[in-house]
């Protein structure tokens, strides 16, 4: 066990680490063009933050959180998602007192105890964005545009936008009554969890993965049929703006998202097999839920890094290759070691990827190693080369060699 990572976790190295680095860089670079600032919040928070923010009746809170009591007898939870922590930071640091909206992004580990599967691990990583301080549907449009740009930059083709509106707390009351009446009429076919859920939060039943429940909710009333005028207008404006930007979408009344804090707009980017790449929407009541003295609208999304990698592999999309060493510097003889490493260091300071020998191998073994790491060029430096001030620079791809001055190697790389 000591040499095995816990189930549902993974080590990052090699090609997977390179993919993750490229994905995170694309996400960060695009977020910055939207003037969205990065935030890092703690890996763990007080448990009550997620109970109030994410919702007591959600699967996340009821089944999936990693919660423990610390040495100060406080209930602490490893963050299951990034939004609640970002909103807590917004409130703690009085960000509402500076010009709004506040736009934040993060790349964070998240922890959920669930059955590990493709693109979903117990410790996974999320890229997320939160925009706090505006009620305008333009905020959701901005989030959708940002995700669309990331998908395009990654080279993914099979990820389509699905949108829905689940209304505000006012029209939700009317809807919840209609949904509860429907569920009670079909109660005998619901799973035990959903029989309990429907009394506390009937909307959660729509998100159940049990086949029997899925059949029942297929014909259940839809939130979109119970929207009040304000929520209807919000959704219509959202659709109009998406159409104006030529962003195709599908209204999918089955989307409710799995967290209690959502209001009005919810959206997902889904592939043809029904796998979700990204999900988000508006959550105007979340700030108030965390701090009752505040009532500030917000919206955002989360996108799993592992899920992006899963989509890339599924579509056979190759990201840019990792940079190979520009030069391998072979060392011949112990006397040359200090000066040869000085040359390596100078070239690295100029921005070149340079590798050398650390195992006192023979020159022949060093050249084999240079081939294995796919160095573009190689030189061997010994006493003679240091004396003459010249080296034989070898192109490792075609075998061609050129005699160059040691202090001019960088001009040929």
Residue 284's pLDDT is 94
Phi-psi region of 356 (alpha: psi -120 to 50; beta: other; left: phi over 0): beta
Alpha-carbon distances, residue 266 vs 142, 222, 272, 368 (angstroms)? 14, 13, 19, 56
Residue 63 burial (10 A CB sphere; 0-12, 13-18, 19+): exposed
H helices, E strands: number in the chain: 14, 16
Could you give the CA distance from residue 9 to residue 53 in angstroms, rounded to a whole number?
Answer: 26
Cα dihedral 158, 159, 161, 164 in deg (nearest 10): 110
Q: Which of 106, 41, 127 is nearest to 78 (CA)?
A: 41
Once rounded to an integer, what is the mean pLDDT over residues 121-132? 96
Task: Report whether pLDDT(158) > 90.
Answer: yes
Domain boundaries, the chain: 14-168+228-315, 327-412
pLDDT on residue 57: 62
pLDDT tens digits for 306-338? 999 999 999 999 999 999 999 999 999 988 999
Q: What is the DSSP letter of 18?
A: H
Element (H, E) at 381: strand 377-381
In whole angstroms, what separates CA 255 from the centre of its chain?
A: 20
In this structure, of 28-37, 49-58, 144-153, the range with the lowest mean pLDDT score is: 49-58
Residue of 159 and 204 predicted with greater confidence: 159
Helix (H) or strand (E) holding 103: strand 102-111
Pairing of strands 377-381, 327-331: parallel
- Residue 2: its pLDDT value, please? 86
Per-residue pLDDT, averaged over 117-129, amounts to 89
What is the arithmetic mean of pLDDT over 371-379? 97
CB 150 within 8 A of CB 30: yes
Over residues 209-259, the pLDDT tens digits come to: 788 888 888 888 999 999 999 999 999 999 999 999 999 999 999 887 766
70-99 pLDDT tens trace: 999 999 999 999 999 999 999 999 999 999
CATH code reported for the domain at 327-412:
3.40.50.800
Average pLDDT over all residues of the chain: 93
Alpha-carbon span 27 to 35, nearest angstrom: 13
CATH number given to 14-168+228-315: 3.30.930.10
Which residues on neighbouring strands pair with residue 38, listed in sequence order? 105
pLDDT-derived band at 30 (thresholds 50, 70, 90) equals very high
Q: What pLDDT, on the 0 to 100 scale, is given for residue 149?
A: 98
* Percent of the chain clearing pLDDT 90 (strictly above): 77
**Average pLDDT score over residue span 280-291:** 93
């Amino acid at each position: 066990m000591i040499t095995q990572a816990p189930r549902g976790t993974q080590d990052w190295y090699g090609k997977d680490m390179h993919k993750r680095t490229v994905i995170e860089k694309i996400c960060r670079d695009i977020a910055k063009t939207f003037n969205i600032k990065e935030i890092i919040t703690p890996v763990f928070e007080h448990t009550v933050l997620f109970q109030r923010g994410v919702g007591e009746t959600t699967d996340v809170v009821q089944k999936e959180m990693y919660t423990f009591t610390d040495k100060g007898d406080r209930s602490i939870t490893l963050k299951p998602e990034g939004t609640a922590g970002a909103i807590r930071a917004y409130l703690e640091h009085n960000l509402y007192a500076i010009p709004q909206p506040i736009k934040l992004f993060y790349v964070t580990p998240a922890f959920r105890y669930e059955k590990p599967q493709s693109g979903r691990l117990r410790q996974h990583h999320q890229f997320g964005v939160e925009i706090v301080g505006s009620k305008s549907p333009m905020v959701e449009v901005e989030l959708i545009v940002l995700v669309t740009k990331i998908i395009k930059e990654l080279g993914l083709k099979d990820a389509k936008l699905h949108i829905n509106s689940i209304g505000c707390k006012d029209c939700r009351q009317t809807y919840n009554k209609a949904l509860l009446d429907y569920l009670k009429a079909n109660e005998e076919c619901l799973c035990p969890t959903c029989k309990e859920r429907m009394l506390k939060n009937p909307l959660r039943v729509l998100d159940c993965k049990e086949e029997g429940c899925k059949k029942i909710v297929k014909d259940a009333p839809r939130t979109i049929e119970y929207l009040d005028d304000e929520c209807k207008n919000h959704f219509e404006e959202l659709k109009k703006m998406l159409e104006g930007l030529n962003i195709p979408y599908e209204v999918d009344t089955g989307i409710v998202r799995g967290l209690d804090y959502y209001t009005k707009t919810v959206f997902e980017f889904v592939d043809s097999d029904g796998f979700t790449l990204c999900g988000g929407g508006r959550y105007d009541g979340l700030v108030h839920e965390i701090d009752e003295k505040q009532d500030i609208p917000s919206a955002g999304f989360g996108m799993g890094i592992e899920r992006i990698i899963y989509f890339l592999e599924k579509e056979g999309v190759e990201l840019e290759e990792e940079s190979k060493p520009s030069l391998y510097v072979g060392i011949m003889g112990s006397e040359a070691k200090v000066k040869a490493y000085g040359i390596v260091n100078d070239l690295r300071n100029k921005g070149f990827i340079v590798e050398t020998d650390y195992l006192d191998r023979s020159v022949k073994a060093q050249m084999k190693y240079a081939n294995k790491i796919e160095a573009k060029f190689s030189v061997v430096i010994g006493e003679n080369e240091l004396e003459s001030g010249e080296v034989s620079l070898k192109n490792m791809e075609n075998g061609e060699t050129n005699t160059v001055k040691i202090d001019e190697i960088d001009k040929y790389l």
